[in-house]
A and B are shown apart, each in its own frame.
Chain A
Amino acid sequence: MGRYILKRVGYMLVTFYVVITLTFLSMKMLPGTPFKFANRLTPEQLNQLKHYYGLDQPIPVQYLHYLWNMLHGDLGGSFQYGMQPVTEFLLQRFPISMELGIESMIFGTVLGIVLGIISGIYRGKFLDWGTVTLTVLFISIPSFIFAAILQYFFSVKIQLFPVIGWDSPMTHVLPVISIGVGVMASIARFMRTEMVEVLNQDYIVTAQAKGLSTVAVIYKHAIRNAMIPIVTVIGPMTAAVVTGSLVIENIFAIPGIGSQFIDAIVTNDYPMIMGTTELYAALFIVTILIVDILYGVIDPRIRVSGGKSS
């Protein structure tokens, strides 16, 4: 197991390095400059600025320079914020996005699994029909429309929750629900499919033939097996939710990393773009590693010890 993880971490680092390099190169191909009024500057002024930010050096030099600094924990300074360190921004804003993402994932996953199980058990009956309708609805409504509706009813009309902000627990409710229902719908659909499939397996009949009660058959034999594949979608989904919540962050004025990222791209704030992308990539890669390890833990067939079987 230890060796396996070590190997995986090795691959992870390679993947990460490739991502850095590709981002660096593609960023160099972005049109425009980081300077707001570039067309009004004299060539001299432009050169001075480029020199100041190290953009006059050949690209390979810039690249190596960036890597070297990165190894020392320095992601550079933001062009738009007077060279304030990018890491500072990330450290300040990323935890907020992470919090929003994880809370939404927990909300959506728990509800989604429960709904999926119920739907799968009562396949073809009223409860299933209701759940399926609900999930189709929630998957097709974009989260920002849902957010606006929630805001209108719960904040403006009955004033139960604050309209915007991110401080007291009350401010978390609407953004988390806005993102979470989509997660819930996807997980519920996935879980339902798995549940239906597992309930058709021979070993369910074996369990029934032992005389176990319906509850025991479903709880001990069906749910666990149906949940294993869920792990594989939860990981990437978490990463997607954390990195993809920028619209919701905008609507609820949440000072997360998403809005920062948009700004950085619009203004060609190279170090900020790099830093954010790297963070997203790291999050994704680590999530996938965790999923793989977790998968091995819960599914004995894949348990990664020495790969012995007979």
Chain B
Amino acid sequence: MSHLLEINNLSVKFHIFGGTVQAVRGISLNLNKGETLAIVGESGSGKSVTSKAIMGLIPSPPGEIATGDILFEGNDLVKYSKKQLQKIRGKEISMIFQDPMTALNPTMKIGKQIMEGLIKHQGMTKHDAKKRAIELLQLVGIPNPEKRVDEYPHQFSGGMRQRVVIAIALACNPKILIADEPTTALDVTIQAQILDLMRDLQKKTGTAIILITHDLGVVANLAQRVAVMYGGKIVETGTLDEIFYNPKHPYTWGLLSSMPKLHAKTDKLLAIPGTPPDLSNPPKGCPFAPRCPYAMKVCTDHMPEYTEMSSTQRTACWLLDERAPKVEPPATIGVGGSNND
């Protein structure tokens, strides 16, 4: 009850020409103060739509929140008016985006882009807001902030721009920061720097983070809890340890075994053969069934219920039914180095 954010049975649909895309299909999640929750899954599994729903930024039309509620400090954001949402966005809940090259307005000085939120939410004067913008640039590790505050996005490299995007998001000390693939568009070395920065900033500010990624390496770096998303559903959630060392869902196994070991740069998720389901015609049963090596007859016809593996781990898979054959996870699950304890 005392969760900072609690999502219950959220469904998001897009009514497009020729049908309806059921991007998110009845997910439930919660987030506590100051923690980092990772949402992992392949592209198209509904991660970004979930984060946009939390921000109240589902474009409508064609989008629609069909069912569910999103309780922020107990208040249902789904019922909020546009005006009420504008007071939450950027102030209580902020977001950083995947591509720093396009997330900033190319014709506005970055200082001004940071100041906008401060002026709107905290009623600062321009002068104070600029001072704060310089502080924020310093905070996110941009050298020479007094000068750079008056520069335009094209004068910054990709990594530096992502720092600016983070500064914008953190400007008003939000309680929740949603980071949608914050490092995907960056070089590997820059990725590590941005993740370090996020970890540091979280320590300093106590902001809760929802980290959206398809990269389990990033998850291991930052998150305390993980939700694995597939085909618009959450198929497994648990603590970081549970997901990495005691995963129960075949899709989680697939993700883990396709994780690049050490520094081998393989094509990450191609290791699971097949493609995600078509969400304009979602499967009746388990969405992973067509690709699952353990699929049984029941899987295609009925969506499995969640099985509580512990007070923190829940898994939706028929293998956990007592009538199912016992299956061991594949030996290929290598967990970020040695795991021989």
Contact = CB atoms under 8 A, between A and B. Distances in A.
B108 interface: yes
Contact of A212 (B103, B116, B154): B116
A210 B116 contact: yes
Contact of B57 (A208, A225, A299, A309): A208
Interface residues of B, number: 34
B341 to A, nearest CB: 42
A211 B57 contact: no
A221 B154 contact: no
Interface stretch (A103-111, A126-134, A163-171, A197-205): A197-205
Contacts of B169: 209
Q: How would you classify the secondary structure of chain A's contact residues: helix, strand, loop or mixed?
A: helix
B288 interface: no
Interface string B79-119: 00010011111110011010100111111100001001100
Contact of A221 (B55, B95, B108, B155): B108
A224 B113 CA distance: 14
Contacts of A205: 57, 97, 103
A206 B89 contact: no
Contacts of A213: 86
Contacts of B121: 211
Interface string A284-306: 00000000000000111100000
A26 interface: no
- Chain B CB count within 10 A is highest, among A207, A298, A299, A310, for A207
A228 interface: yes
A123 to B, nearest CB: 11
Interface of A: 201-203, 205-214, 216, 220-221, 224-225, 228, 298-301, 309-310
5 contacts: A206-B104, A206-B168, A208-B89, A221-B105, A309-B155
Given A208-B57, A209-B57, 15 more contacts: A203-B103, A206-B104, A206-B105, A206-B113, A206-B165, A210-B117, A211-B87, A211-B91, A212-B90, A213-B86, A221-B105, A225-B105, A299-B107, A300-B107, A310-B156
